[in-house]
Structure 1
Amino acid sequence: MALKTLPIIMFTLLCLICNWKSSDGNDDSVFLAWKCNDSKGNYTENSPYHINLLNAFSNLTSLSISQTFANLSTSTDENDNTNKVYALYDCRKDLTLTTCHHCVVDATDNILHRCPSLEAIVMYEECVVRYANRPIVSIMEQIPYFSDCKFSIPDGGELSRIIKPIFTNLIDEAISNNSRLKYSAAKNEDYFEYQKVYCLLQCTPDITQQECKDCLTEAMNKTIDCANSSGMISYYIVPSCRMRYDVIRHFFNVSSSLPPMAMSSPPPFSPISNAAVQLRMFAKNTAR
């Protein structure tokens, strides 16, 4: 690379660092995308499905105080499978549980305002929340997807050269039986003399090792496309996995001392009261 190009890149990276919002150490959740599956049909306010969904979200937000992943199914009538709700969330394991909890709270509120569908997903930088009227746990899914490639800056092909080896090794690490955090890995690598690139990948812990590898391999192919275009920031998120690289320092914690997050069994289902449902509906209508 010509020496005259390097100062331009470094100046641009400095601008990105000063202006781009990082989620690490910040309780403000960063919304990325949402998808309502209208083909599955819609629910109406105060219907049995809507009440089951509110119950599911109430329990999931409680669970997010103590664990980074949880799933459950809810139904106020055991004999009514038509209105049964299946829901889950998955938080990034490099962030604090406080950040996870705030993201799940934001995500559940957001999707309730955006989607009257029987199935939907909302994606944040910090977490993913899903629900459906069908089982979604332990099923590897790669649609819908969210991808973004930001700030393409000529770099002489440097990102393209280093990104594939980094993520190839991280995939092997994430699915290894010796991995500290199940299906999750992160690493930083030198990118020019005074700059690093920060890389992270993760699968939901409910799928198999092979499914995790397949999901991340497809994500890597999309991520390499961004690196080939010299994109400085790349997102790729699907229901079962995510992949991310960024040139902003301290985007996430890659410390080897990061403790594993305990995965506890979900507590007994706690239905919310009709009064709580009405209060939430009042807040929703007032916000419109």
Structure 2
Amino acid sequence: MKFLPSVHLPCHPWMAMVILPLLLLLVPLAAAQWSSCSKSDDYKSNSTYVANLSLLSSTLPKKAASSTTLFATSIMGNFPDIVYALTLCRGDSNASACESRVTTAFQDLLRLCPYKKNAAVYYDPCMLKFSNKNFLATTTVNDPLFIVNTKNFTTNADITQRLLFTLINSMAQLAANSLRRFTTSRLDVGSSPTLYCLMQCMPDLIPHDCESCFQDILNSTLEYLGGKQGGRVLGTRCYMRYEMYPFFQGDPKLRIINLAPHVPTINNTTTPATVYPQSQPPDAAPPPEGKVTVQEHNGM
């Protein structure tokens, strides 16, 4: 597999655009927010496609907020102006915040990806994607974006890989079998860095497909994020974030207390990707000890 170099993106979206695989453009909106817009497949300002998007923007936020999983899909219109849409709010969000954030996501996408039929936006608390292609029909297309902390771990490479493998491998089954396909964790093992992690996949995936999506995230993390103090893999079907500080709501659902003895050989089939730096959190005192509410887990 060929590595592509990290690309520095300025803070303002009009200053730089980077071509992604599948001809998507990635633009950082602000800290922890990214949008992607198709390079082709434009629509006209007075088209039926616009009318269908308008209908979606008024119905999809409410549909997501009324769901127990804060997740919704929708199809609006007919060919050639049909629109497929998907949105998900993070598993530690609430209904009112979810509706507001998805409404804002539509507004942002129409502003940042004007006249583009394929667009997606990722925030910390939610994501939204719409397209004229039926991406809802498959469970395998994830098209992830890789966002990394620019600071490296000071531990050696072997320990770092074991930390990341243990973290994601320990969480995958728990998240895949939960109602919201969501879980959080804290890993603290001896003198190794303490890590916090969040993983979620789309609630319409069956547990097996969710675990398969997380397996792809595990492979990609070891390939592209190894050695970094924090990072995210943001995908249409599942995503993951880990940091050295708490960033999710509530106590971690899982505490991991032992490292896996080794990282098994992984047949990595991930495609080459571009890795983008994320903004750094402000320096602060070490976070308080997190209260563990569900279970402890030995690394496997």
TM-score (structure 1 length as normaliser): 0.68
Shift of 1:196: 3.0
Q: In 2, Cα distance between the equivalents of 1:38 and 1:119?
A: 9
Contact 1:138–1:207 (8 Å) recurs in 2: no
How much identity, in percent, do the aligned residues show? 23
Shift of 1:99: 3.3
For the structure 1 residues 37 and 227, does the alpha-carbon distance in structure 2 shift closer, same or farther, using more than 3 Å as the test? closer
**Which aligned pairs between 1:53-64 and structure 2 lie closer than 5 A?**
53-64=53-64
Q: In 1, Cα distance between the equivalents of 2:100 and 2:147?
A: 23
Q: In 2, Cα distance between the equivalents of 1:164 and 1:196?
A: 14
Shift of 1:250: 4.5
**Which residue of structure 1 aligns with residue 208 of structure 2?**
210
**Which aligned pairs between 1:172-251 and structure 2 lie closer than 5 A?**
172-176=173-177, 179=178, 181-190=179-188, 196-225=194-223, 228-229=226-227, 231-251=228-248
SS in structure 1 opposite 2:213?
helix
**Which residue of structure 2 aligns with residue 46 of structure 1?**
46
Shift of 1:123: 1.4
Contact 1:71–1:87 (8 Å) recurs in 2: yes
Larger proportion of helix: 1
Which has the higher mean CA deviation after the structures are superposed, 43-52 or 117-126?
117-126
- Note the residue ranges of structure 1 that are not aligned, 5 or more in a row: 1-28, 258-288
Shift of 1:211: 2.3
Contact 2:187–2:195 (8 Å) recurs in 1: yes
SS in structure 2 opposite 1:34?
strand
SS in structure 2 opposite 1:219?
helix
Shift of 1:255: 4.8
Contact 1:160–1:227 (8 Å) recurs in 2: no
- Superposition CA RMSD, Å: 2.5
For the structure 1 residues 193 and 95, does the alpha-carbon distance in structure 2 shift closer, same or farther, using more than 3 Å as the test? farther
**Which aligned pairs between 1:87-126 and structure 2 lie closer than 5 A?**
87-115=85-113, 116-126=115-125
- Off by >6 Å, runs of 4+ in structure 1: none
Q: In 2, Cα distance between the equivalents of 1:70 and 1:253?
A: 24
For the structure 1 residues 232 and 224, does the alpha-carbon distance in structure 2 shift closer, same or farther, using more than 3 Å as the test? same
Could you tell me which amino acid in structure 2 is paired with residue 247 of structure 1? M
**Which residue of structure 2 aligns with residue 133 of structure 1?**
132
Shift of 1:236: 0.3
Could you tell me which amino acid in structure 2 is paired with residue 212 of structure 1? C
Shift of 1:252: 3.6
**Which residue of structure 2 aligns with residue 148 of structure 1?**
147
**Which residue of structure 2 aligns with residue 37 of structure 1?**
38
TM-score (structure 2 length as normaliser): 0.66
SS in structure 2 opposite 1:152?
coil
Contact 2:64–2:88 (8 Å) recurs in 1: no
Query: For 1:162-219, what per-residue CA distance to the aligned partner results, in whole angstroms no more than 9, with x for missing partners?
Result: 221121121121223xx3x342222111166696311111111123333222211111
